[in-house]
Amino acid sequence: MDRKLVEVKGLKKYYPVTAGLLSRHIADVKAVDGVSFHIAEGETLGLVGESGCGKSTLGRTMLRLEEPTSGSICYRGEDITGWDRKELKALRKEMQMIFQDPQSSLDPRMTIGDSIGEALLVHGMKNERERLELVAQLLKQVGLEPEHADRYPHEFSGGQKQRIGIARALAVNPKLIVADEPVSALDVSVQAQILNLMMDLQHSLGLAFLFIAHDLAVIGHVSNRIAVMYLGQIVEMADKAELLCHPLHPYTEALLSAVPVPDPHLERKRIVLQGEVPSPLKPPPGCRFHTRCPRGSKGCSEAEPELAELKPGHFVACHEPG
Amino acid sequence: MDNTILKVKDLKVHFFTRHGVVKAVDGDSFDMRRGESLCLVGESGCGKTTVALSVLRLLDSPPGKIMGGEILYGGDDLLKCPDDRLRQIRGNKIAMIFQDPQSSLNPVFTVGDQIAEQLKLHLKLGHREAMEKSLRLMEQVGIPRAAERINDYPHQFSGGMRQRVMIAAALSCNPEILIADEPTTALDTTVKAQIMDIFRDLKREKNMSILFITHDMGTVAGFADRIVVMYGGRIVETGSALDIFDHPTHPYTRGLLNCLPSVSAIRDRLTPIPGAIPSLINPPKGCVFDPRCECRLPLCATVRPEEVVASGDHTVACHQCAPSVVGEGHKPS
Amino acid sequence: MLTKIGNKVGGLRNLLFLCALMLLALVLVLDIYAVDRILEPLGYFYIVFALLAIFYGIYPLYLSRRLTRYYWDRTKRHRLAVFGLVFIFFLVAVAIAGPFLTQDPTKVRFQEKNVPPVGFSITQSVYDVKTDTFSTVHIPGTWRHALGTDDKGRDMLAMLVSGARVSLQVGLLATLIAILIGTVLGVLSAYLGGWVDNALMRFTDVMMTFPFFLLLVFIIFIFGPSLTFVILAIGLTGWTGTARLVRSEALSLRTREFVMASRSLGASDSRIVFRHLIPNVLSSVIVITTLSIPGVILAESALSFIGLGDPTVTSWGVVLNAGQRTLDTAWWVAVEPGVMLFLTVLAFNFLGDGIRDAFDPRSQV
C-alpha cells in the first residue's frame, strides 16, 4: 500500500543574486535548502508554510520545471534529477501541476478546448476527433459541459477556470499532481466545490497530490500527511492527526494556534509569534526559527537541528521538541 | 439611551460600466454602536468595500455613484454634507485602513512623515510635536525600535510592519470610528494573528468603534460583537456574533459556515454552496441568493425578501423567516 | 511528410509562408539577373505585406471567429474608432481606384491657375500682355476642378488622391518593416535572454540615438531621392520603440502561469514561442502598428515638405509645400492637404485607441 511514488532527498534550490556590470555572483537566495520527503501512491501530502518559505519553488523543482541546485528526486525508484529533455517529456505525463491563479494560468487567446487539448497534442495525439472526444470527457469529469470547449477563458468564472486547469492537468492521465495554492484565489463558497472535486478525482483515479497552501485549515482538511516548511526547510512532518493533535515543533504550534476558527466560543491557548520571517538571503545561523522561537535555548543559534524521526512517521527538526 | 454612532440608511451605490449598471450596493441599512466591533462579512463582489468607501465618500466617481440613502454621523449626513466638513471628519473622526499596506503608503516619504501628516493637518501640531506623537503611536502599535525606524521609508518595512504603520497613521487623531477594509488578508497567518491582537487591544483599551470588513468567518469569530452578512449587494443577515455563529438563519450564512474546511475535521467531503456568485448587472429578480439556495420557495424568484426580526437584535432577509411563511411551519432548522 | 516539416518550423502555416517567401525571392533574383522589371520595387513590399496579412492576420482571425467577434464588439463600442476605420477604408478605396478616375496630377495648365474650389470665388488681378495693364477678374470655382487648382493650374483633387496613395504606401510599408524588425528582435531578446538580450538591447539603444535625418540625407545623397528609399529609411530606423515594448511584454508573458503550465505539459520551446508568446504579444503589436502609422505619414509629409522626398510623386507634403508659397492668394492649396493629413492621422489614432481599449485586460469583465 505505502509504495513510494516520489522520493526527494536533500533537495536544494538556490537563486544566485548578481550585481554589477559583469554579473558578479554575490549571494544566494536559499529558496529550498535541503529538503527530504516522499509521497506515496494515492496519498495527499500537504505542504504548508508562509509566503516566501519556498513551498512553491519546492513544488516546481520537484517537477523539474526549475533545475535543482543539488539533491535528488526519484520517481518510482528512478533518479530523474539528471534526465534530459526527451526523458522529461515522458515524465510530464506522470506528474502534472495545478496553478494558483486561474486567471493567468489559461492562455487568453486559446479556447479552453485547445488549452486542454494541448497536452494531448504535445504527447502525440494528432487525430483531432479523438482529441475533441477526450476533451469533452475531461470537461464532464470536472463538472463542466462538453459544449464549453470552444469558449474562451474570459467567459468563465474563477471557480470554473480552476476546473479547466484541473481538466488540463488530468488530460495526460498523471499519477501525481502538484497543486500550488489551488483554492487561495477563490471565494470560500466556491473553494469548497474545488476541494471536493479534487478529493473525488483522487478517489476515482488514484491520484497522489502534493498540495501546497498557506492556509492550514485547507491543508488540514485535504491532506493525509502534512509537512510544515519554514525558510526553505521542512521543520515538521507527520500524519495529519498526529501533527494536528501532537505538534512537536514550536512553529507548527504557533501556526495551529493562529488559524482562525469560526467559533466564537472557542477559548484556546494562543501563541503569537514575535517578529516576522527573516530573509532567505541571510537565514539566521543554527536553527532558522530561533529568532522567533518562544522556547529557544542558547544552543539553538549555533547548531542546525536535523529532521529526526521522534515517533514512527513523525519527523521534527528541533533541539527542544515537545 | 441611543448609543448609535453611525447609521447607514437605505444606501444605494451603482457602478456605471460599459457592460451595464452594476448594483454594487442595493438598499442596505445598518447601525453601528459606540465602542462595538461591527464586522461586514461577504465574498468578493458582495459590496462590502463599496459600503466602507461610501461612508467617507471615497468612491471613484465615475464609475461609482451613490444613488440614494443616508449615512448619519453625529448630526451630519455624510453623503450630503459639504466637502470641507467631510474633510474635517476624514482621518480625524473616522479613519480608514486598507487591504494592501504596500500600495497605501507613499514610497517617497518616511513613515514618520506620513503618520505626522494627519497630526499637522487636523490637530495643527508643529513638526516636532507631531514627530514625537508619531513615535508614541508607532510604539503603541508594536513597531520595535520605533525611534530608529521613524525615519525609514516604507520599502524598508515588511508587510506586517507596514500594516502597523497604517494603523498608527489611522489612530493619529484619535478617531471615533476606525474602518478597516480587509486589513489582514494580504498577511501571513502568524503576522495576521499579531495584527488582530492590535485590533483587540484597541477595542478593549480605547473603546474604539471598529467597522471591520472581511471575507473570513474565522477572523471574525473571536473579534466581532455584531456581524452583518452581505451577499450580492444586499444585507442578508444581521445579528450578534453568537446569533450568527450559533443560530445562522439565512441559507447563505449557513452555507458560508458549513463550507469552511476545518483543521480538526476528518477528511471528508465539504458541503459547498452550489453555483457561482451572480453578476450584479442582471441580478436575480427576487432574492439574490435564490439561484443557489437549497430551500427556496416559489415566491423567492420574484419577490425581494424584506428584513424580518428573528429574535431581538437578529434580523434576516429571507422569505423562509417571514411571519406568513413561518406560520405555515416552514421555518428552517 | 509535409506536416512533419511543418512542425519543425512551428506549423504548416509557417511552412507555407516560408515557401511563398522563397518563391518571391526567386522572382526577385530573376528580376535582377534575367528578365527586366517583372515588378516595380515597391511591388515586392506589397506582396510580402499581403502574404503576412493573409497568413498571420486574416487566417487566424477567421480561425478564432468567436474571439474576433468578441474583440470587434468591444472595438465597436468605441464610436470614434469605427469612424476612424470607415475613413481609412474610404482612403484605401480612393488610393486604389482614385488615380484612374481623376486627371493627371502632374499636368500643368497655366491658363487655369489658382481656380478656387466649387462654391468659392476670388477676385484676382491678371496681367494682360496685349494692353500691358492689370485687370481685375472674378474667378468662380468650377466642377471641372472641384477642389480647385494650384498656382500651376494642377488639379487639386488629383493631387490629393495621388497624395493619399503615397501616404498610405509609406505609412503601411514603413510601419510594417519597423514592426516586423521590432517584433522579431523583441521576442528573440526576451526568449533567449542572457548575452543575446544584452547585445540586442544595446544595439537598440544605439539605433535610438542615431540621427534619423542624417541617415536620410545620406541615403538621398548616395541613391538619389526615391519613395522606396524614404520607406526603407523610415522603416529601418523606426523599430526601436516596438522592440523594447515587445521585449518587455514577452518577458512578463514568460513568467505567466499559462506558459509554465504549457511547459509542465511537456511543450517544446518553439511551441511556446509560436502558440503562446507571439499570439499574446500580437494584440499590442496591432495597437502599436495603428498608432505608429500616423507618425510615419507625418514624417513622409515633413520630408517632402522640406524637399527630401521623391520629386516624381505628388505627396501631401509636396502640395503643402507648394501651398505655403501662395497662402495669400490661394489658401486652399495648403489647407486641403492639411485637412487630409489631419483627418488621416486622427482616424488612425482613433482606431488605435479603440483597439487598445478592446484588448485592455483591465476592462475585461
Of the residues A43, A186, A188, A191, the best mutation for testing chain B's interface (the one with the most B CB atoms within 10 Å of its CB) is A188
pLDDT at C360: 65
Q: Does A192 touch chain C (CB under 8 A)?
A: no
Residues C136 and C195 in one domain: no
Residues C306 and C280 in one domain: yes
| pLDDT band, very low/low/confident/very high, at B237 (cuts 50, 70, 90) | very high
Q: How many beta-carbon pairs below 8 A join chains B and C?
A: 4
Those residues whose C-beta lies under 8 Å from the C-beta of residue A205, and which sit 6 or more positions away, are A170
| Rounded Cα–Cα distance for residues A111 and C56 (Å) | 18
Among the listed residues B95, B277, B70, the one whose alpha carbon sits nearest the alpha carbon of residue B181: B95
Among the listed residues B163, B165, B174, the one whose alpha carbon sits nearest the alpha carbon of residue B209: B174
Residues C254 and C304 in one domain: yes
Is the pLDDT score of A28 beyond 60? yes
Residues C181 and C307 in one domain: yes
Is the pLDDT score of A101 beyond 90? no
Contact state of A105 with C258 under an 8 Å Cβ cutoff:
yes
CA distance A154 to chain C (A): 8
Task: State the average pLDDT over residues A238-267.
Answer: 87
Contact state of C265 with A104 under an 8 Å Cβ cutoff:
no
CA distance B279 to chain C (A): 10
Pairwise pLDDT comparison (B151 vs C72), residue with the higher score: B151
CA distance A310 to chain B (A): 23
Backbone angle region of A173, left / alpha / beta, with phi > 0 → left and psi within -120 to 50 → alpha: left
pLDDT at B324: 61
Strands in A70-75's sheet, in edge-to-edge order, are A24-40, A4-19, A70-75, A78-79
State which amino acid sits at residue C214: L
Contact state of B17 with C365 under an 8 Å Cβ cutoff:
yes
Among the listed residues B277, B276, B292, B287, the one whose alpha carbon sits nearest the alpha carbon of residue B325: B287
Of the residues A97, A118, A154, the best mutation for testing chain C's interface (the one with the most C CB atoms within 10 Å of its CB) is A118
Q: Which of A97, A154, A165 sits opposite C364 (nearest CB)?
A: A154
pLDDT at B265: 58
Residues C124 and C244 in one domain: no
The three cell numbers locating residue B253: 450564512
| pLDDT band, very low/low/confident/very high, at B327 (cuts 50, 70, 90) | very low
pLDDT at C352: 83
pLDDT at C337: 85
DSSP A72-108: EEEETTEE-TT--HHHHHHHHTTEEEE-S-TTTTS-T
* Residues of C at the B interface, defined by Cβ within 8 angstroms: 77, 363, 365
**Residue labelled with grid coordinates 534526465:** A83
Q: Does A105 touch chain C (CB under 8 A)?
A: yes
Task: State the average pLDDT over residues B89-111.
Answer: 86
Q: Which residues of B touch A247 (CB under 8 A)?
A: none
Q: Which residues of C touch B19 (CB under 8 A)?
A: 365
Residues C314 and C194 in one domain: yes
Q: Which of residues 171-190 of A touch C (CB under 8 A)?
A: 171-172
Residues C108 and C119 in one domain: no
Q: Does C131 touch chain A (CB under 8 A)?
A: no
Is the pLDDT score of A230 beyond 80? yes
Task: State the average pLDDT over residues B79-105.
Answer: 86
Q: Which residue of B has its CA nearest to C76?
A: B18
Contact state of A261 with B43 under an 8 Å Cβ cutoff:
no
pLDDT at C11: 65
Residue C20 within a domain: no
Q: Does A267 touch chain B (CB under 8 A)?
A: no
Q: Which of A192, A216, A272 sits opposite B197 (nearest CB)?
A: A272
Residues C193 and C220 in one domain: yes
Contact state of A109 with C258 under an 8 Å Cβ cutoff:
no
Q: Which of B230-234, B320-324, C93-97 has the lowest mean pLDDT?
A: B320-324
| pLDDT band, very low/low/confident/very high, at B213 (cuts 50, 70, 90) | very high
Domain residues for C120?
115-145
Is the pLDDT score of B325 beyond 60? no
CA distance B187 to chain C (A): 22
Q: b or e along A92-117 (b: 16 or more beta carbons within 10 Å of the residue's beta carbon)?
A: bbbbbbbbbbbbbbbbbbbbbbbbbb
Q: What backbone phi and psi angles, to 5 degrees, belong to C12?
A: -60, -35
Do the bridges between strand A314-316 and strand A233-239 make them parallel or antiparallel, or are there none, so unpaired? antiparallel
| pLDDT band, very low/low/confident/very high, at B328 (cuts 50, 70, 90) | very low
Q: Which residue of C has its CA nearest to B20?
A: C365
Q: Does A214 touch chain B (CB under 8 A)?
A: yes
| Rounded Cα–Cα distance for residues B159 and B165 (Å) | 10
**Residue labelled with grid coordinates 536533500:** A10
State chain A's mean pLDDT as an integer: 88
Q: Which residues of A touch B277 (CB under 8 A)?
A: 157, 187, 189-190
Q: Which residues of B touch C365 (CB under 8 A)?
A: 17, 19
Contact state of A276 with B160 under an 8 Å Cβ cutoff:
yes
Q: pTM to 2 decimals?
A: 0.81
Q: What backbone phi and psi angles, to 5 degrees, belong to A214?
A: -100, -10
Q: Does C12 touch chain A (CB under 8 A)?
A: no
Q: Which residue of C has its CA nearest to B19?
A: C365
Q: Which of A94-98, A276-280, B127-131, C124-128 has the lowest mean pLDDT?
A: C124-128
Q: Spell out the domain ranges in chain A.
A: 4-18+25-94+174-316, 104-173
Task: For chain A, list the contacting chains (3+ Cβ pairs, <8 Å).
Answer: B, C
Those residues whose C-beta lies under 8 Å from the C-beta of residue B270, and which sit 6 or more positions away, are A192, A195, A196, A221, B258, B259, B260, B261
Is the pLDDT score of B220 beyond 90? no
Residues C310 and C177 in one domain: yes
Contact state of B189 with A218 under an 8 Å Cβ cutoff:
no
Q: Does A65 touch chain B (CB under 8 A)?
A: no
DSSP C168-221: HHHHHHHHHHHHHHHHHHHHHHHHH-HHHHHHHHHHHHHHHHS-HHHHHHHHHH
Q: Does A106 touch chain C (CB under 8 A)?
A: yes
The three cell numbers locating residue A106: 489559461
In this structure, are residues A290 and A296 in contact, taking their beta carbons and an 8 Å threshold? Answer: yes
Residue C155 within a domain: yes
C222: CATH: 1.10.3720.10
| pLDDT band, very low/low/confident/very high, at B144 (cuts 50, 70, 90) | confident
ipTM of the complex: 0.82
**Residue labelled with grid coordinates 511514488:** A5
The three cell numbers locating residue C6: 511543418
Q: pLDDT truncated to tens, each residue of chain C (365 aa)? A: 666 665 656 567 778 888 888 888 888 888 778 776 666 777 777 788 788 778 777 777 777 777 778 777 777 777 888 888 899 898 888 888 887 777 777 777 777 777 777 777 777 777 777 777 777 777 777 777 777 777 777 888 888 888 888 888 888 888 888 988 898 889 888 888 788 888 888 898 888 887 777 877 787 788 777 888 888 888 888 888 889 999 998 888 888 888 888 888 888 887 888 788 888 888 788 888 888 888 888 888 888 888 777 777 888 888 888 888 877 777 777 888 888 888 988 888 888 888 877 776 554 43
Q: Which residue of C has its CA nearest to B22?
A: C365
Q: Which residue of B has its CA nearest to A256?
A: B263
Task: State the average pLDDT over residues A126-141.
Answer: 89
CA distance C252 to chain B (A): 21
Q: Which residue of B has its CA nearest to C357?
A: B18
Residues C265 and C207 in one domain: yes
Residues C137 and C250 in one domain: no
Q: CA dist C189 to B246, C34, C209, C226, C251, Å?
A: 60, 39, 20, 33, 9
Q: Which residue of A has its CA nearest to C263?
A: A65
pLDDT at B333: 42
End-to-end CA distance of chain B: 35
Task: For chain B, list the contacting chains (3+ Cβ pairs, <8 Å).
Answer: A, C
Domain count, chain C: 2
Is the pLDDT score of B210 beyond 90? yes
Task: State the average pLDDT over residues A301-314.
Answer: 90
Contact state of A100 with C257 under an 8 Å Cβ cutoff:
yes
The three cell numbers locating residue C17: 509562408
Contact state of B194 with A195 under an 8 Å Cβ cutoff:
no
Residues C315 and C285 in one domain: yes
CA distance B11 to chain C (A): 24
Contact state of A260 with B218 under an 8 Å Cβ cutoff:
yes
Torsion of Cα atoms, A169 then A171 then A172 then A177, to 10°: 20
Note the CATH architecture for domain A4-18+25-94+174-316. Answer: 3-Layer(aba) Sandwich (3.40)
pLDDT at B329: 43
Q: Does A239 touch chain B (CB under 8 A)?
A: no
Do the bridges between strand A225-230 and strand A233-239 make them parallel or antiparallel, or are there none, so unpaired? antiparallel
pLDDT, tens digit, for every residue of B246-276?
999 999 999 988 888 877 656 677 888 888 8
Q: Does A188 touch chain B (CB under 8 A)?
A: yes
Q: Which residues of C touch A92 (CB under 8 A)?
A: 264-266
Q: Which residues of C touch A63 (CB under 8 A)?
A: 264
pLDDT, tens digit, for every residue of A168-191?
999 999 999 999 999 988 888 888
Pairwise pLDDT comparison (B31 vs C317), residue with the higher score: B31
Is the pLDDT score of A286 beyond 80? yes
Is the pLDDT score of A231 beyond 50? yes
Task: State the average pLDDT over residues B190-203.
Answer: 87
Contact state of A224 with B273 under an 8 Å Cβ cutoff:
no
Contact state of A50 with B267 under an 8 Å Cβ cutoff:
no
